Amino acid sequence: MKEKYSPGQIEEKWQKRWEETKLYESKIDPARPKHYALTMLPYPSGDLHIGHWYAITPSDAHARYMRMKGYNVLFPMGFDAFGLPAENAAIKRGIHPAEWTLKNVERMRQQLKSMGAIFDWNREVVTCLPDYYRWTQWFFLKFYEKGIAYRKYAPVDFCPSCNTTLAREQVWGEDRHCERCNTPVIKKELNQWFFKITDYAEELLDFSGIDWPERVKTMQENWIGKSEGAEVTFKTESGEPFVIFTTRPDTLWGVTFMVLAPEHPLVDKITAPEQRQAIEAYRFEASRQTEIERLATDKEKTGVFTGAYAINPVNGEKIPIWVADYVMMGYGTGAIMAVPAHDQRDFEFARKYGLEIKVVIQPEGVGPIAPEEMTEALPALGTMINSGPLTGTPGDQSLKKAIEYVESLGVGKAAVNYRLRDWLISRQRYWGAPIPIVYCPDCGTVPVPYEDLPVLLPEDAEFLPTGESPLKYHDGFRKTTCPKCGGPAERETDTMDTFMCSSWYQYGYLSPYYQGDTPFDPREGAYWLPVDQYTGGVEHACMHLIYTRFFTKVMRDLGLVDFDEPMLSLRNQGIILGEDSEKMSKSRGNVVAPDDLVADYGADAVRAYLMFGWRWEQGGPWDSRGVEGVFRFLHRVWELILGDVEAPATVDATVERALRRKVHQTIKKATVDLESFNFNTYIAALMELSNTMTKAKPQVVGSEGWREAQRCFTLMLAPACPHLAEELWERMGYAYSVHNQAWPVYNPELAAEDSVELGIQINGKIKDRIAVAVDTPEDEIRQLVLARPSVQEAIQGKEVQKLIVVPGRIVNLVVR
């Protein structure tokens, strides 16, 4: 056998054969357990990135492993095809977004095919096609019917570079920049569509029954930001009520001033004439600040007195009302009660403006606190003092008692507040699914009837971004008739956030572009759902992964599905950096192009290196010498499995037994590693087995043990290197296909060692080693150890106080 491993030939050959024989078509099969494996669908940017390979090919290996374990596996692929880059490219180059997108889809589909994954292309979805987005619109209508979609005139985040509004989740960082283009966002007051995701806030905090990374769950918890406390209604001196939220109702008697956010609607009403000018100036400054750039969080607090007073409902005290920008309109009610003695922010504010400080919680173990001597607030719970009827209430009951008290007065109640905001889905851009709503001068807001879906995106729109939807200037689109009264009406011209499209795509794959009256074929759904294994980047923790959970819960409430969570298990891959350890980017010139790597080393070597090089969930810098190392390994595998070696006159039975042991130990290791996404040690185990086989080969070739090793090695290689494994399988004379074979089963008896080397420790330090049979009784081990010259020497003249034998591991002598 002189032929060498040439990946280019065999990969092309097998990809063709797999397609011809429809090897990876997934069909409902009630006789077999199903496994729905899903990986986040790519945006068709036009070029597959090494990051896509890193995310997808190990996921494919896992799905292939499940397939070999006997599961009927569905592993679909598609394209998240609406979105800004298409429009931006169109503006720059004068190509239509649809043309640009579909051309990229075509190219990326070919690139994805070079991976040799088990994608079932019959189930592909492209989210910008009308047959897909009619269902995105269908969901909007269902949400509207259910009262989840609503329209509101509100201040919203707007990216001046992308020229569109953004969901709160798409605004990142301290300077509140756009997730896409990093431009700081501005506030705009606009009529926009929202989804009431806040109705599901509590349920979204429940992760029971799903196996998701702790990190993602924590990020979602933080994002939802539940806090428990009370709502208390204060009144202004003139009798105007306003509600505040507090987590510390036990400090109500310590309130010395109130603070309203600059945007709070009450500010205008209550401001005293002599303060009006100062307040207006402050509000103008505050609005400018959000429009320019947010300053650091440790900036000094500022505020202005309104000239108005509030009455504290628990003691009738008259307290000044201030306006300050450290209170946000977007959180709670936009108004707070300020307790400087027990809240650091209020403390700093009070000190700056000379406001009163009243201590109402007595810290343990110290005497009375004089407000004028305080240097910081005392935020801890403790015994209530100076608190009218509740004075003396201990810290472990104070919150409960305080809430009961305000409830008894009828001025407040226990309340839960969430940081989560409703999901803003309107976008003032062209390349998205139109919102299926018509505004009629007589009938008002009218949903487009289901039978009129999809509301098609006109192909001939001018898509220059102006901050308003391009559809607004397309009369043919905008002008329509009211579905209710038939009179002239106008369409909603904003399009939907692309996260809408990706919130339900896992259902779209089941029966792409379904023509029934639900978004997917219920028979397919009954078999495949929910997704068993999801993989993708952690950067979507608070966007896509919250939205898709929300969608599924609404779908459940609509009776479309009968489960609560879309994806039972989730794993996140890390990020591959450039060889310079920096983020890959064209401007740095450190981009690794997968197409070139496939041309040089073949898809199998790239796949195996991506699994072997790092802890998958962590990622790290690319190493071009590393991929060469794996490429060399695959060459050695070729030679090892197929290379001719003269058979020995007699097979060495000891070597054969040792080889079988290693084979079965490797099966065990590879199984555990693949199940737990430890791809690096899975490949390492295959390398170890290959090393053992290489050494044993001349003594055992021709034996049953050798054939078992060849066969098992090839089977275990199949998830990582599907083309090479298929070629080896064929050349060994087995029937097509290796990918229809069962994963090898490990035999514990064959895997068991018959002798072990025990380390001998004296006072915990290794001094010697001893090889013994596995079943050697402890007594005999003691004797053997004590008889060793090295041990004799070490314990001479000393007393052996203890002799610990850990079977199969170690012996430790405690000597004084």
CB of 445 to RNA, least distance (A): 30
User: Using the rule CB under 7 A, which residue among 42, 334, 508, 744 binds RNA?
Assistant: 334
Nearer to RNA, 393 or 572 (CB): 572
The site string for RNA over 724-763 (x = CB under 7 A, - otherwise) reads: --------------------------------xxxx-x-x
| Among the residue ranges 272-280, 381-389, 470-478, 612-620, the one whose residues contact RNA (CB under 7 A) | 612-620
CB of 625 to RNA, least distance (A): 4
| Among the residue ranges 369-377, 497-505, 560-568, 688-696, the one whose residues contact RNA (CB under 7 A) | 688-696
Cβ neighbours of 476 (radius 10 Å):
10
Cβ neighbours of 274 (radius 10 Å):
8
Residue list 345-404, contact with RNA (CB under 7 A): 345
Does the footprint of RNA cover residue 223 (CB under 7 A)? Answer: yes
Residues 6+ apart with CB under 8 A from 653: none
Does the footprint of RNA cover residue 408 (CB under 7 A)? Answer: no
Does the footprint of RNA cover residue 155 (CB under 7 A)? Answer: no
Cα–Cα distance, 571 to 538 (Å, whole number): 9
Cα–Cα distance, 257 to 337 (Å, whole number): 7
Burial 413-431 (b: 16+ CB within 10 A, else e): eebebbbbebbbbbbbbbb
CB of 811 to RNA, least distance (A): 8
CB of 303 to RNA, least distance (A): 10
Nearer to RNA, 244 or 471 (CB): 244
Q: Are 144 and 447 in contact (CB under 8 A)?
A: yes
3-state secondary structure of 358: coil
- Among 715, 760, 755, which Cα is nearest to 738's? 715
CB of 274 to RNA, least distance (A): 26
- Among 81, 393, 414, 129, which Cα is nearest to 246's? 414
Does the footprint of RNA cover residue 804 (CB under 7 A)? Answer: yes
CB of 174 to RNA, least distance (A): 5
Residue list 765-784, contact with RNA (CB under 7 A): 765-766, 769
| Among the residue ranges 451-459, 484-492, 614-622, 725-733, the one whose residues contact RNA (CB under 7 A) | 614-622
3-state secondary structure 433-469: CECCEEEECCCEEEECCHHHCCCCCCCCCCCCCCCCC
Cβ neighbours of 735 (radius 10 Å):
9
- Report residue 772: phi and psi, to 5°: -135, 160
Burial 744-773 (b: 16+ CB within 10 A, else e): bebeeebbeeeeeebebbbeeeeebebebe
| Among the residue ranges 23-31, 191-199, 682-690, 710-718, the one whose residues contact RNA (CB under 7 A) | 682-690
Does the footprint of RNA cover residue 183 (CB under 7 A)? Answer: no
The shares of helix, strand and coil residues in the chain, as percent rounded to the nearest 5, are 40, 20, 40
Does the footprint of RNA cover residue 246 (CB under 7 A)? Answer: yes
Cβ neighbours of 281 (radius 10 Å):
11
User: Using the rule CB under 7 A, which residue among 34, 96, 615, 668 binds RNA?
Assistant: 615
CB of 42 to RNA, least distance (A): 20
Q: Are 436 and 141 in contact (CB under 8 A)?
A: yes
Nearer to RNA, 635 or 788 (CB): 635
Does the footprint of RNA cover residue 187 (CB under 7 A)? Answer: no
Q: Which residue has the tokens 């402890």?
A: 778
* Site residue total, RNA (CB under 7 A): 82
**Phi-psi sector, 482: left (phi>0), alpha (psi -120 to 50), beta:** beta
What single letter denotes the amino acid at residue 719?
A: P
Instruction: Sort strands 335-338 and 257-260 into parallel, antiparallel or unpaired.
Output: antiparallel
| Among the residue ranges 337-345, 428-436, 441-449, 489-497, the one whose residues contact RNA (CB under 7 A) | 337-345
CB of 769 to RNA, least distance (A): 5
How many CA within 13 A on the CB side of residue 260? Answer: 29
Residue list 291-320, contact with RNA (CB under 7 A): 295, 297, 299, 301
User: Using the rule CB under 7 A, which residue among 145, 174, 206, 754 binds RNA?
Assistant: 174
CB of 143 to RNA, least distance (A): 25
User: Using the rule CB under 7 A, which residue among 87, 124, 343, 492 binds RNA?
Assistant: 343
CB of 628 to RNA, least distance (A): 6
Does the footprint of RNA cover residue 412 (CB under 7 A)? Answer: no
User: Using the rule CB under 7 A, which residue among 620, 698, 702, 777 binds RNA?
Assistant: 620
Does the footprint of RNA cover residue 544 (CB under 7 A)? Answer: no
CB of 604 to RNA, least distance (A): 15
CB of 332 to RNA, least distance (A): 3
Q: Are 739 and 722 in contact (CB under 8 A)?
A: yes
Nearer to RNA, 103 or 769 (CB): 769
Residue list 580-599, contact with RNA (CB under 7 A): none
Does the footprint of RNA cover residue 419 (CB under 7 A)? Answer: yes
CB of 663 to RNA, least distance (A): 15
Does the footprint of RNA cover residue 717 (CB under 7 A)? Answer: no
User: Using the rule CB under 7 A, which residue among 85, 458, 467, 621 binds RNA?
Assistant: 621
CB of 183 to RNA, least distance (A): 16
Does the footprint of RNA cover residue 710 (CB under 7 A)? Answer: no
CB of 803 to RNA, least distance (A): 9
Q: Are 409 and 313 in contact (CB under 8 A)?
A: yes
Does the footprint of RNA cover residue 265 (CB under 7 A)? Answer: no
Nearer to RNA, 162 or 762 (CB): 762
**Burial group, residue 587, by CB count within 10 angstroms (0-12, 13-18, 19+):** exposed
Instruction: Sort strands 318-324 and 241-246 into parallel, antiparallel or unpaired.
Output: unpaired
Does the footprint of RNA cover residue 58 (CB under 7 A)? Answer: no
Instruction: Sort strands 34-39 and 72-74 into parallel, antiparallel or unpaired.
Output: parallel
CB of 652 to RNA, least distance (A): 17
| Segment (H or E) for 86 | helix 84-93
CB of 180 to RNA, least distance (A): 14
Instruction: Sort strands 361-362 and 383-384 into parallel, antiparallel or unpaired.
Output: antiparallel
| Among the residue ranges 479-487, 529-537, 683-691, 746-754, the one whose residues contact RNA (CB under 7 A) | 683-691
User: Using the rule CB under 7 A, which residue among 268, 623, 675, 780 binds RNA?
Assistant: 623
User: Using the rule CB under 7 A, which residue among 45, 161, 397, 691 binds RNA?
Assistant: 691
Cα–Cα distance, 496 to 469 (Å, whole number): 11
Does the footprint of RNA cover residue 154 (CB under 7 A)? Answer: no
User: Using the rule CB under 7 A, which residue among 45, 198, 227, 397 binds RNA?
Assistant: 227
* Cα angle for residues 8, 9, 13 (degrees, 5° grid): 120
Does the footprint of RNA cover residue 547 (CB under 7 A)? Answer: no
Does the footprint of RNA cover residue 328 (CB under 7 A)? Answer: yes
User: Using the rule CB under 7 A, which residue among 13, 636, 668, 782 binds RNA?
Assistant: 636
Does the footprint of RNA cover residue 665 (CB under 7 A)? Answer: no
DSSP character string of 635-667: HHHHHHHH---PPPSS--HHHHHHHHHHHHHHH
CB of 539 to RNA, least distance (A): 7
- Among 314, 319, 350, 347, which Cα is nearest to 230's? 314
Residue list 459-488, contact with RNA (CB under 7 A): none
Residues 6+ apart with CB under 8 A from 463: 87, 90, 91, 97, 429, 430, 431, 470
Nearer to RNA, 120 or 604 (CB): 604
